[in-house]
Chain A
Amino acid sequence: AQSVTQLDSQVPVFEEAPVELRCNYSSSVSVYLFWYVQYPNQGLQLLLKYLSGSTLVKGINGFEAEFNKSQTSFHLRKPSVHISDTAEYFCAVSESSGSRLTFGEGTQLTVNP
């Protein structure tokens, strides 16, 4: 079975500062990895995904993530955050294309002026 651990439940940062949201996963097979963002009372929006190939994945809104197989990590980064990046961020994993997604507990990113 697969599992996802998001190491920080809350991450407060100042505007224009860099941020890293940490995600570690556990699986006995190869995985696909995802980061989603959720604004209050809304569904989830895909930020980026890793399926195969380059381990550095670039997504929307200036976010990127790096897949590290040896450390079983998929940390999300942004070099300079905006107030509008304040939201809940979820890391997720699936063991094959189309199989169920397993979510982490989420990280609340709060960007302060």
Chain B
Amino acid sequence: GAVVSQHPSRVICKSGTSVKIECRSLDFQATTMFWYRQFPKQSLMLMATSNEGSKATYEQGVEKDKFLINHASLTLSTLTVTSAHPEDSSFYICSARDDRGLGGYTFGSGTRLTVV
């Protein structure tokens, strides 16, 4: 089945530094990937839609300069949290849509970001 690898699974960084999270589709191509943020005991909040070869589409209220998204190939999208602050601490999850049109969205295993 379709597999999405998300790395790292857990990261701790200092305030003011940047952190990059990778989302890779292992056995399928994904023109479109999605980035979500999840707070404890809450649902997933869509942050942005990442499209290969073009600029990401950000949801209202999400700072595009803070959360940089790059989707340079059909199998890889990255999310960079720039100048991280403690309030950016959260669980980030990516999802990839299979280009074969099987109607599925495969999720990565998530990244727990802690900013100290």
Contacts and interface: CB of A to CB of B under 8 A. Distances in A.
A80 to B, nearest CB: 25
A30 B90 CA distance: 33
A17 interface: no
A97 interface: yes
A42 B101 contact: no
Nearest to B45: A103
B107 A45 contact: yes
A42 B103 contact: no
A101 interface: yes
Interface string B32-52: 101000000011101001000
Given A100-B34, A101-B34, A43 B97 contact: no
Interface in B91-111: 91, 93, 95, 97, 101, 103-110
Nearest to A51: B103
Interface residues of A, number: 21
Contacts of B4: 43
Contacts, number: 48
B95 A101 contact: yes
Contacts of A104: 43
Interface string A24-43: 00000000101010000111
B54 to A, nearest CB: 15
A44 interface: yes
Nearest to B38: A38
A100 B91 contact: no
Given A46-B106, A105-B43, A97 B6 contact: no
27 contacts: A32-B103, A34-B105, A36-B107, A41-B91, A42-B110, A43-B6, A43-B93, A43-B107, A43-B108, A44-B44, A44-B93, A44-B107, A46-B104, A46-B106, A49-B103, A49-B104, A51-B103, A94-B105, A97-B101, A97-B103, A98-B32, A98-B97, A98-B101, A101-B34, A101-B46, A103-B44, A106-B43
